[in-house]
């Protein structure tokens, strides 16, 4: 049984909660973020002192060996997990799902089987208010954007994996988030579909200019998509290195054959390989402290 | 709901080159299944007919299919069938309706409150394992030989599977679905109405299907013990007069009703929950 170590204090009183004037801070600020779980009295640190800022319109990919806390980081940014120390601020405000400035594209199977494509895409809008002609129109726009026009009335089980992930993306875009969080969205797709989806995502990102934090374990995916790749280390999860990807845009699948591209991927792989090896040595695998 | 009819599938098959690919096994189409159902049903009628006319050869102990159907006609003509049906249908609908409402409410309580489940679950499990029809004599003691005890019996039989399935459905909610909703800022109430409850619908459907069968058993048993009307009563009386044709006519009507109710319900299910079909 995993239980969050500490609940976030009720928001609102914190002076940091007051929105700052625009232009004075980056869109996403992660400040000394630690997340831990108490398991049977023992305290396990998942994230330890993660600090990161993401500028407005930036595409940031987070990679790391499995177990490095990538997904935990994403969920903490979204406010689904309460940090045990540190803070996440979006546009200067402490992050919370109710603020409605973020949307998550999950890995898979998070579409609602009883909702049609249109209704799935509208889900976030339905949560935030009443269904109207406007929310329907907005959802249709997003469906068109991801190239699924004509499938509005299909149910998820009638779609392929790639189409489902497009619906997933459209659902996140429908609420017009300032920050788009993507949790290995293409990991469950086959290699060809994944490559197509990567380029389509780049197209959409170019049009919409959302700020994106993208979690992946595919290094080539990270280098292809990102302005900056954050390499994480595990046990406890922390940032090991930040790499700015200086490959001109627009990028497409040909980018992957470039020399520079391969150099970036190799560099990151070396970092991670080392990390994987280290985590295999007994005794250092998990940093465990006794409870707070 | 694949949207491909058997004819289309066959047509597509014939356009394929004959050599490569495994050959389609003969007789696996949907049409074949239909034929086989007819053959099996006709076979049953023949066996029934032969057994009644030549083996037992005594209408006091076993009426054949022809005289059974004739009995249905006679009962309809003299109006007893309509009367009996009305009484039985009334009992079934009252008991089933009450059982459905109470079952869903109970299931919601069980599915949303861990504490309530801890208290109620042992009772439900005990009751579910008990053949509740054994309570019929007690209900006669309480309510006399009227309709009430049959309605209560139907209710008792229907409420449990519906409650159990509703509860199971709510608890079967995919954590991914909940997390996605939470990430969009859904409140606890919205998590329930937009995620948990829709998930439980498919389970509820299974519960209702079970409830239909059990409810019909309730009607028959209720009417067999201390009743003065209804189809079950007609079956009982006809056995006392050795009218096996009337007896079997009653049984036949029950089985047709059961099949019909399930079919109507499946039709309703396709309209209300179209995502169910085609998933498995």
Q: What ipTM, to 2 d.p.?
A: 0.82
**Chain A nearest CA to B188, separation (Å):** 11
- Kindly indicate the confidence band of residue B26, based on its pLDDT and cuts at 50, 70 and 90: low
Contact (CB<8Å) B275/A155: yes
3-class DSSP assignment, residue A4: strand
Over residues B202-247, the pLDDT tens digits come to: 888 889 989 999 999 999 999 998 888 899 999 999 999 999 999 9
What mean pLDDT is reported for chain A?
Answer: 85
**Regarding predicted confidence, which is higher, B268 or B250?**
B250
pTM for this prediction: 0.76
3-class DSSP assignment, residue A88: strand
List of chain B residues whose C-beta atoms are within 8 Å of the C-beta of residue A188:
none
Lowest-confidence region among A28-37, A142-151, A275-284, B241-250: A275-284
Alpha helices of A154-218 — where are they, by DSSP H? 161-174, 191-208
| pLDDT attached to residue A283 | 53
**Regarding predicted confidence, which is higher, A108 or A259?**
A259
Among all residues of chain A, which has the CA nearest to that of B188? A127
Over residues A47-98, the pLDDT tens digits come to: 999 999 999 999 999 998 877 888 899 999 998 899 999 999 998 888 888 8
Mean pLDDT calculated for residue range A248-270: 91
Write out residues 189-228 of B within 8 Å (CB-CB) of A. 190, 194-195, 198-199, 201
Mean pLDDT calculated for residue range A141-145: 93
**Chain B nearest CA to A125, separation (Å):** 9
List of chain B residues whose C-beta atoms are within 8 Å of the C-beta of residue A123:
180-181, 184, 194
| pLDDT attached to residue A78 | 92
Is residue B11 pLDDT above 50, yes or no? no
Nearest to A114 among B1, B184, B198 (CB): B198
């Amino acid at each position: 049984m995993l239980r969050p170590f500490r609940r976030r204090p009720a928001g609102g009183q914190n002076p940091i909660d007051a929105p700052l004037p625009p232009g004075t801070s980056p869109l996403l600020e992660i400040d000394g973020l630690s997340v831990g779980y108490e398991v049977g009295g023992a305290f396990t640190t998942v994230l330890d002192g993660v600090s990161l800022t993401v500028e407005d319109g930036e595409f940031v990919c987070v990679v790391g060996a499995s177990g490095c806390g990538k997904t935990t980081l994403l969920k903490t940014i979204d406010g689904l997990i309460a940090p045990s120390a540190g803070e996440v601020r979006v546009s200067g405000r402490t992050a919370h799902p109710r603020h409605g400035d973020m949307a998550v594209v999950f890995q898979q199977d998070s579409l609602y089987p009883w909702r049609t494509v249109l209704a799935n895409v509208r889900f976030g809008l339905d949560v935030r208010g009443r269904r109207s002609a406007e929310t329907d129109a907005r959802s249709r726009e997003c469906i068109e954007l991801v190239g699924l026009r004509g499938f509005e009335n299909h149910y998820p089980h009638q779609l392929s994996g790639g189409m489902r992930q497009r619906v997933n993306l459209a659902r996140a875009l429908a609420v017009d988030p300032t920050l788009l969080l993507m949790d290995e969205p293409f990991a469950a797709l086959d290699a060809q579909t994944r490559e197509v989806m990567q380029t389509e995502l780049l197209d959409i990102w170019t049009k919409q200019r959302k700020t994106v934090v993208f979690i992946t374990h595919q290094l080539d995916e990270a280098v292809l998509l990102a302005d900056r790749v954050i390499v994480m280390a595990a046990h406890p999860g922390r940032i090991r290195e930040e790499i700015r990807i200086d490959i001109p845009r627009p990028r497409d699948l040909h980018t992957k054959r470039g020399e520079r591209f391969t150099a970036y991927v190799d560099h990151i792989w070396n970092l991670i390989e080392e990390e994987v090896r280290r985590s295999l040595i007994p005794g250092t695998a998990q940093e465990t402290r006794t409870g707070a | 709901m694949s949207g491909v009819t058997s004819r289309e599938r066959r047509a597509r098959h014939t356009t394929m080159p004959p050599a490569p690919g495994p050959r389609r096994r003969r007789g696996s189409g949907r049409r074949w299944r239909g034929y086989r159902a007819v053959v099996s049903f006709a076979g049953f009628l023949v066996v029934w007919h032969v057994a009644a006319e030549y083996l037992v050869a005594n209408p006091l102990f076993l009426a054949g299919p022809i005289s059974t159907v004739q009995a249905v006609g006679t009962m309809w003509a003299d109006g007893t069938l309509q009367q009996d049906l009305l009484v039985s249908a009334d009992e079934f609908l009252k008991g089933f309706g009450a059982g459905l409402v109470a079952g869903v409410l109970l299931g919601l309580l069980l599915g949303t409150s861990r504490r309530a489940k801890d208290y109620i679950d042992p009772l439900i499990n005990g009751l579910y394992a008990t053949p509740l029809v054994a309570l019929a004599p007690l209900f006669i003691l309480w309510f006399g030989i009227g309709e009430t005890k049959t309605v209560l019996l139907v209710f008792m039989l229907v409420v449990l599977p519906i409650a159990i399935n509703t509860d199971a459905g709510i608890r079967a909610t995919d954590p991914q679905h909940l997390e996605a909703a939470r990430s969009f800022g859904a409140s606890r109430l919205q998590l329930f109405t937009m995620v948990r409850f829709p998930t439980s619908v498919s389970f509820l459907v299974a519960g209702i299907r079970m409830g239909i069968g059990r409810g019909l058993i309730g009607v028959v048993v209720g009417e067999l013990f201390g009743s003065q009307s209804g189809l079950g009563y007609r079956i009982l009386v006809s056995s006392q007069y050795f009218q096996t044709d009337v007896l079997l006519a009653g049984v036949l009507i029950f089985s047709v009703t059961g099949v019909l109710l399930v079919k109507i319900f499946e039709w309703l299910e396709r309209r209300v929950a179209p995502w169910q079909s085609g998933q498995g």
